[in-house]
């Protein structure tokens, strides 16, 4: 099973956790193995090198934004390193994932408070049976900005602020501090247990610092083991983002929906273009071919065959071509005292088509149209071209007759339409 990576970005730290996820449907104690972790400055050469090592990896990101910080600016170092951000969530959403992963510790229908106490930001989330009811981000943390440096707040100051913030928040949601049954605290405070003890006294409620190894395989901890144990509460948000495969909140969903709509619109346009091309391909080709130019009829005088002698014997004309007229029989006067010789009719030799020398063209032949292109000119039966007359046009040949009455045959390429 592929490992999962989560990164928590806060104003003062970049926390990275890589885990082997629990088997499908299992969220039991010790089912998740942490393979590696890192707590780095928010920027710098070491952080840049670590982010570049995660190039092309899919990462869940928890963004604890400082006031005035934009989400795009916070994610820019990750995107510049080539990291594929699959989920982006707020600390409240990460606390919601953490609560769902702790289902073995739920009190049915009880109101629980989860707190993420970071350096300069704090998040409070109200939960009931693992469901997020409301959340609030506070613009302070466990460090105090003094001049140009940071100083750890006194424990009493942190406790007073938390008690007031939790009481006001529960009252704003229509409840009372007595409705709270359980409070869980995580974050990077170096003395987290020392902070929770006064909270138990002031609110009279069960407190639990999330510095234990619930949900983590304690037998296979990453190196260095001691440092991981000390930072387990600090890494809880990143661990929850990596372990929860289906977070209820994702800041990138709106962007993903817009990208999906854009892809679907482009796919619809491409499908329409493909459909148009397919319809055009199936249309008969004659729709797309230009019509041949109109044939201009030429007016020529009819051909008058030469006179035929009355006693001439003629051959039966051919079924395709018209034979030339028989030659007239000349009469020679007989010498005096002799009978005139018997008249004979000279029969014309049978017509044998001779080849015709012309630029080859194309035959435009159909049952109701006989056209041919010869020497670049469109002709029909009866037209003259180059001193010859077109007699007939078939699908492959053109029959012509020259001025001497001889048949000419031109074979061309047929182009039926």
pLDDT in tens, 275-306: 656 655 555 444 445 555 554 444 445 555 55
CA distances from 48 to 37, 70, 75, 110, 216 (A): 15, 20, 13, 43, 28
Residue 150: is its pLDDT beyond 60?
A: yes
CB 324 within 8 A of CB 394: no
Please work out, in degrees rounded to the nearest 5, the angle formed at the alpha carbon of residue 400 by the alpha carbons of 395 and 401. Answer: 160
The C-alpha atoms of residue 65 and residue 68 are separated, in whole angstroms, by: 8
The C-alpha atoms of residue 10 and residue 74 are separated, in whole angstroms, by: 9
The C-alpha atoms of residue 255 and residue 85 are separated, in whole angstroms, by: 12
The C-alpha atoms of residue 33 and residue 22 are separated, in whole angstroms, by: 8
The C-alpha atoms of residue 33 and residue 262 are separated, in whole angstroms, by: 39
Residue 225: is its pLDDT beyond 90?
A: yes
- Out of 12-26, 109-123, 184-198, pick the least confident: 12-26
Q: By CB neighbour count within 10 A (0-12 exposed, 13-18 middle, 19+ buried), where does 50 fall? A: middle
**What's the average model confidence in pLDDT over 159-185?**
89
| Phi, psi dihedral angles at 90 (to 5 degrees) | -85, 165
More confident residue, 83 or 373: 83
pLDDT at 90: 92
- Above pLDDT 90, what percent of the chain? 33
Q: How would residue 89 be classed by pLDDT, with cut points 50, 70 and 90?
A: very high
pLDDT at 175: 84
DSSP label at residue 181? E
Count of C-beta atoms within a 10 Å radius of residue 108 = 6
Count of C-beta atoms within a 10 Å radius of residue 114 = 27
pLDDT at 252: 57
Residue 341: is its pLDDT beyond 60?
A: no
- Out of 146-155, 165-174, 373-382, pick the least confident: 146-155
Residue 311: is its pLDDT beyond 80?
A: no
**What's the average model confidence in pLDDT over 9-33?**
79
pTM over 0.75: no
- Out of 234-243, 265-274, 338-347, 393-402, pick the least confident: 338-347
Q: How would residue 353 be classed by pLDDT, with cut points 50, 70 and 90?
A: confident
**Cβ partners under 8 Å of residue 252, min gap 6:** 85, 87, 88
More confident residue, 175 or 93: 93
List, in order of start, the domains of the chain with CATH numbers: 4-258 (3.30.420.40), 354-414 (2.30.30)
| Phi, psi dihedral angles at 291 (to 5 degrees) | -70, 145
- Above pLDDT 70, what percent of the chain? 69
The C-alpha atoms of residue 31 and residue 214 are separated, in whole angstroms, by: 9
CB 352 within 8 A of CB 399: no
Concatenated DSSP letters of 208-234: EES-S-TTB-TTSPPSSHHHHHHTTTT
**What's the average model confidence in pLDDT over 35-56?**
95
**What's the average model confidence in pLDDT over 317-325?**
46
Q: Considering Cα of 101, then 106, then 112, then 113, what sign does the dihedral take?
A: negative
Q: How would residue 69 be classed by pLDDT, with cut points 50, 70 and 90?
A: confident
Q: How would residue 316 be classed by pLDDT, with cut points 50, 70 and 90?
A: very low
**Cβ partners under 8 Å of residue 390, min gap 6:** 372, 379, 380, 381, 382, 383, 384, 398, 399, 400
pLDDT at 320: 44
CA distances from 71 to 64, 65, 78, 89, 237 (A): 10, 8, 12, 10, 18
| Average pLDDT over all residues of the chain | 78
State the residue for tokens 């929906």. Answer: 257
**What's the average model confidence in pLDDT over 154-177?**
90
pLDDT at 124: 95
The C-alpha atoms of residue 313 and residue 297 are separated, in whole angstroms, by: 37
CA distances from 404 to 288, 305, 324, 350, 408 (A): 44, 11, 9, 14, 11
Q: How would residue 18 be classed by pLDDT, with cut points 50, 70 and 90?
A: very high
CB 117 within 8 A of CB 192: yes
Q: By CB neighbour count within 10 A (0-12 exposed, 13-18 middle, 19+ buried), where does 103 fall? A: exposed
The C-alpha atoms of residue 182 and residue 169 are separated, in whole angstroms, by: 15
């Amino acid at each position: 099973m592929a490992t999962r990576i989560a990164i928590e970005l806060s104003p003062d730290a970049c926390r990275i956790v890589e885990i082997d996820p629990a088997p499908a449907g299992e969220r039991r104690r010790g089912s998740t193995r942490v393979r590696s972790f890192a707590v780095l400055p928010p920027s710098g050469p070491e952080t840049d090198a670590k982010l570049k090592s995660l190039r092309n990896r899919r990462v869940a990101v928890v963004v604890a934004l400082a006031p005035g910080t934009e989400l795009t600016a916070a994610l820019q170092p990750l995107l510049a390193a080539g990291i594929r951000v699959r989920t982006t969530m707020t600390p409240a959403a990460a606390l919601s994932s953490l609560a769902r992963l702790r289902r073995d510790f739920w009190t049915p229908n009880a109101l629980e408070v989860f707190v993420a106490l970071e350096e300069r930001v704090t998040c409070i989330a109200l939960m009931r049976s693992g469901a997020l009811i409301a959340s609030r981000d506070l613009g302070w943390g466990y460090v105090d900005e003094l001049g140009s440096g940071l100083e750890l707040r006194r424990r009493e100051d942190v406790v007073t602020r938390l008690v007031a913030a939790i009481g006001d928040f529960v009252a704003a949601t229509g409840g009372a501090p007595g409705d709270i049954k359980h409070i869980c605290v995580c974050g990077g405070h170096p003395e987290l247990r020392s902070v929770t003890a006064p909270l138990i006294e002031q609110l009279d409620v069960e407190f639990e610092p999330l510095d234990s190894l619930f949900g983590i395989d304690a037998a296979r901890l990453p190196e260095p083991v001691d440092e991981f144990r000390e930072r387990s509460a600090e890494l809880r948000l990143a661990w929850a983002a990596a372990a929860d495969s289906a977070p209820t909140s994702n800041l990138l969903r709106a962007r993903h929906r817009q990208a999906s709509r854009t892809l679907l619109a482009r796919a619809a346009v491409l499908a329409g273009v493909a459909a148009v091309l397919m319809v055009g391909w199936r249309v008969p080709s004659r729709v797309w071919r230009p019509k041949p130019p109109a044939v201009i009829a030429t007016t020529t005088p009819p051909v008058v065959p030469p006179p035929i002698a009355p006693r001439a014997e003629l051959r039966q004309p051919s079924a395709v071509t018209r034979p030339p007229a028989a030659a007239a029989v000349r009469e020679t006067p007989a010498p005096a005292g002799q009978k005139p010789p018997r008249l004979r009719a000279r029969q014309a030799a049978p017509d044998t088509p001779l080849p015709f020398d012309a630029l080859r063209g194309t035959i435009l032949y159909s049952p109701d149209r006989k056209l041919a292109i010869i020497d670049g000119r469109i002709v029909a039966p009866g037209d003259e071209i180059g001193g010859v007359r077109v007699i007939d046009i078939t699908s492959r040949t053109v029959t012509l007759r020259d001025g001497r009455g001889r048949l000419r045959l031109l074979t061309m390429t047929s182009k039926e339409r």
